[in-house]
Structure 1
Amino acid sequence: MTQFPSEQLLTFATVLSEGTLDAAARLLHITPSAVSQRLKALEQSAGRVLLQRSNPAQATEAGEVVLRLARQVAQLEADAGRELGLDAEGAPLAVPIVVNADSLAVWFLQALAQVPSELNVTFDLHRDDEQHSTSLLRSGTVMAAVTATPEPVQGCRVESLGVMRYLAVAAPGYVDRWLPDLAKGLDAGMLNAAPTVDFDRKDTYQWAFLQSWPGSRRPAPERKGPRHYVPASQDFGDAIRLGLGWGLIPEVQCGPDIAEGLLIELAPERPLDVPLYWQRWKTASRVLDVLSDTVREVSARFLRQP
């Protein structure tokens, strides 16, 4: 059975987090030559190249597997040291998590705020689209993720959190200009020709909403109307409220504006429901267990439950 010494795993993870062998050597208080020797020994044990020695250094596909192992080992060692009272300096443990922008804006920070302070952790948040966030789990970059992917990443467990409901909305002035016949009915062609607000170039929700319209041709025609890209959840909503375009906003965020007449729901009978899941490493960890319990509890207050 192949064994990877913990000092080699630590060195490998440090090189990837710091970007270069020299920077890792300074942080580990060893020479660059010692860093290189540990990496070489680790690659010999693995039987393949683990590191692309670029600037910054990057893990190969095999290296991503070893990086995940390195960070899981570090997590287990940190948990054990805390339980044994060996963490004399009381340094907080960094917990990297990837979460989509809407969850971050609507409920996820409230979950983090309820994590007990005695755990002594800090959170390193990565923001990515819920359709793509599992890649950071596979690479070992994060320990947990809010994702739209129900299939567990290797080495992870997954549980359903609920459904984030999105509503297609636009400002009244926008409707008067671009959708003056809205009262007579709405179709995908009308929306396709009108200006749209997308979060970024990974955001496919507005387009998926059009494609799923009853009677839409498949494959759907190309997008015709102009698109604005606004990559921040609050600013994305503000852009729609200011009339730049129509878009899909979480029900929790746009419901009050609809009630007050500040936004008009374009298709009340056609919400877009996005199931969300929590994926985390399988490794036994009190920190991850407590974090998962908190995420589960808080998300249930904001997401629609089956």
Structure 2
Amino acid sequence: MVLLDYKLLHALSVVLNEQSFDKAASVLAITQSAVSQRIKSLEQIIGQPVLIRAQPIVATAIGKKLLGHYQQVKLLEQDIIPDISGNKKHETITANIASNADSLATWLIAAIGDVSHQYNLAVNFRLADENRTINYLKDGEVFGAISTYDQALPGCTLEKLGDIHYLLVAAPSFIASYFPEGINKQTLARTPAVAYDQKDDMHIKYVEQTFGLKGGSYPCHTVRSSEAFVNFAKQGIAYCLIPKLQIQAELASGELINLMPENPIIRTLYWHHWVLLKGVFKQLSSAIISRAQYALNNQ
């Protein structure tokens, strides 16, 4: 029977978080060779590699399972230790959450605020496109993820949060400069857009499906910030897809114009989390569900 040594699992977690054996040694207050020995010992116990030593350092399939197990154990420890010590106000509880940038820019921080005033809570966000956040949960790096994925993972459950509406918008001055005769394939070919990153295919698919213009055939900024999308549009730098929830005031004032009111993008968001949640993690999960459902149902 294999007995897990959680000191070794902790080393695995730190190496992956720090992406360096040297930095992990500093965090663990041991030598780099000692970190390497702990990983080697874990691999000897398991009987197979737990890390792929490359750039970036990644966990193997069994390494991901071990990391997920370790994170769940840490979650349970963080929940019970304040009760044992009688020091709830001063024990720091760390919560790792995967989110898309748009949720973080709109309703998610309010959900964190609903819980953080009761605990000494430290939240670490893993940000990615809503189609890719589920990977952080699969890899055991987070206890919950906001995602468009509509199937529960093993050991997890999900709740529907609601639909998020994306509108293609631009400032009046931008429309006057680039679309004086309307928006079409020809005008879009010379008009700057905005994407979140190189893996963000929402804009590319929208333009290709709506206008038949393929990605790479028009200028496009890359900006890893949901708030920056709004500012790019308001400053007349580009046109872009933005959640309606994020720009209601700008739409009402006419500062931004919906270019395609008959053709929004609608994506359904789900909250995925480990089945076994207690204490602050259960409260945080409930707050996320409540805040999201209220925000998305009132956009």
TM-score over 0.5 for the pair: yes
Note the 1:112-261 alignment, pairs <5 A: 112-182=112-182, 186-187=183-184, 190-213=187-210, 221-261=214-254
Give a deviation string over 1:240-274, Cα, whole Å, max 9, x none. Answer: 12222211111122232222222221111111111
Q: 2:112 aligned with 1:81, yes or no?
A: no
Q: Give the conservation status (yes or no) of the 8 Å contact 1:280–1:288.
A: no
Backbone CA RMSD of aligned residues: 2.7
Report the residue type matching 2:220 in the other structure: R
Distance verdict in 2 for CA 1:301–1:26, change over 3 Å: same
- Share of identical aligned residues, percent? 32
Secondary structure, counterpart of 1:129 in structure 2: coil
Give the distance between the partners of 2:209 and 2:295, measured in 1 at CA.
Answer: 25
Give the distance between the partners of 1:80 and 1:201, measured in 2 at CA.
Answer: 42
Deviation at 1:135, TM superposition (A): 1.7
For normalisation by structure 1, the TM-score amounts to 0.85
Give the distance between the partners of 1:49 and 1:130, measured in 2 at CA.
Answer: 30
- Of 241-250 and 292-301, deviating more is 241-250
Deviation at 1:48, TM superposition (A): 0.8
Give the distance between the partners of 2:225 and 2:35, measured in 1 at CA.
Answer: 40
For normalisation by structure 2, the TM-score amounts to 0.87
Q: Give the conservation status (yes or no) of the 8 Å contact 1:94–1:124.
A: yes
Give a deviation string over 1:192-249, Cα, whole Å, max 9, x none. Answer: 5532122222222222222333xx66xx645532112222222211111222221111
Residue in 1 that maps onto 2:256:
263
Give a deviation string over 1:4-28, Cα, whole Å, max 9, x none. Answer: 1323322322333344445545544
Distance verdict in 2 for CA 1:190–1:285, change over 3 Å: same
Distance verdict in 2 for CA 1:221–1:58, change over 3 Å: closer
Give the distance between the partners of 1:30 and 1:250, measured in 2 at CA.
Answer: 47
For residue 296 of structure 1, the aligned residue among 289, 293, 298 is 289
Give the distance between the partners of 1:48 and 1:57, measured in 2 at CA.
Answer: 16
Q: Give the conservation status (yes or no) of the 8 Å contact 1:18–1:24.
A: yes
Give a deviation string over 1:82-131, Cα, whole Å, max 9, x none. Answer: 33336699330111112111111111111111115333221112221111
- Of 69-78 and 198-207, deviating more is 198-207
Distance verdict in 2 for CA 1:24–1:228, change over 3 Å: closer
Distance verdict in 2 for CA 1:266–1:66, change over 3 Å: same
Give the distance between the partners of 2:2 and 2:38, measured in 1 at CA.
Answer: 16
Unaligned runs of 5+ in 2: none
Give the distance between the partners of 1:202 and 1:144, measured in 2 at CA.
Answer: 22
Secondary structure, counterpart of 1:280 in structure 2: strand
Deviation at 1:279, TM superposition (A): 1.3
Secondary structure, counterpart of 1:150 in structure 2: coil
Give the distance between the partners of 1:177 and 1:155, measured in 2 at CA.
Answer: 53
- Of 27-36 and 256-265, deviating more is 27-36
Unaligned runs of 5+ in 1: none
Distance verdict in 2 for CA 1:209–1:88, change over 3 Å: closer
Give the distance between the partners of 1:175 and 1:266, measured in 2 at CA.
Answer: 9
Aligned length: 298
Residue in 1 that maps onto 2:91:
91
Q: Give the conservation status (yes or no) of the 8 Å contact 1:230–1:239.
A: no
Q: Give the conservation status (yes or no) of the 8 Å contact 1:96–1:142.
A: yes
